Amino acid sequence: MATKIKLTRPELKRHRDALVRFERYLPMLQLKQQQLQIAVRQAARELQLASESLKKAQKQFEPSMTLLGDIAGIDICALSKPEEVKTSTSNIAGVNIPVFDDVVFPVAEYSLFATGAWVDRVLVDLRCVNRCEVEMEIVELQYRLLSRELAKIVQRVNLFEKVKIPEAREAIRVIRIKLGDEMTAAVGRAKIAKAKLDESGTCTSMVDQSADSEAHN
């Protein structure tokens, strides 16, 4: 083992207590790992859907890109840029992640009579592209946060399963063997001592009997 074990009863108790803690905590970690794995898979699916939505929006806007320079006096790019991104927070397996709610765009103020009807269409399409980009960024952040937490939990589960619990069990085994050997040796010494005491007592009794016999003679 990596560290030297003290072959004592207090050390045995310490490792037993540690093993109880590890075995109690491990199922909690494994449950969290399962929850995060499900959440990461769900986030990956949502990320794929967000990517597809963005590509679809970009494809729809693509024919209008050449028209942006023909809109005199109207900054379509500025009007299509989100003014505010509304999000909320959700907690998944102890991880706080942002959730996309909505985007707020600036008010489009321009003359409906001085501009062609296609301007509205360009603005709507570009806003759709920007909205999809924002939503995809938030889903990407969800995926990163969940994946990072999952990696940490996997490391902890592996640490408990492959290091901490085996080390504690091995330490308990080694200490119990040592203490058992010491107990066996102590019992052996006690038997030897008792045998010597019995032998000594027998010899003393024989001497006393001999003395009594000589006295009577």
Contact between 72 and 115 under an 8 Å Cβ cutoff? The reply is no
Helix (H) or strand (E) segment spanning residue 77: helix 76-80
pLDDT of residue 203: 52
Residues in the chain: 217
Helix (H) or strand (E) segment spanning residue 144: helix 118-159
pLDDT of residue 114: 56
Query: Using the 8-state DSSP alphabet, how is residue 160 labeled?
Result: I
pLDDT in tens, 152-211: 999 999 999 999 999 999 999 998 888 887 777 766 676 777 777 766 665 555 445 554
pTM for this structure?
0.76
Burial of 215 (0-12, 13-18, 19+ CB in 10 A): exposed
Domains along the chain with CATH numbers: 9-172 (1.10.287.3240)
Residues contacting residue 8 through CB under 8 Å, at least 6 positions apart: 175
pLDDT of residue 198: 66
Phi, psi of 92 (to 5 degrees): -120, 115
Per-run averaged pLDDT (10 residues), the chain, 217 residues: 74 92 94 96 96 95 73 76 94 94 86 66 90 96 97 96 94 88 73 71 51 47
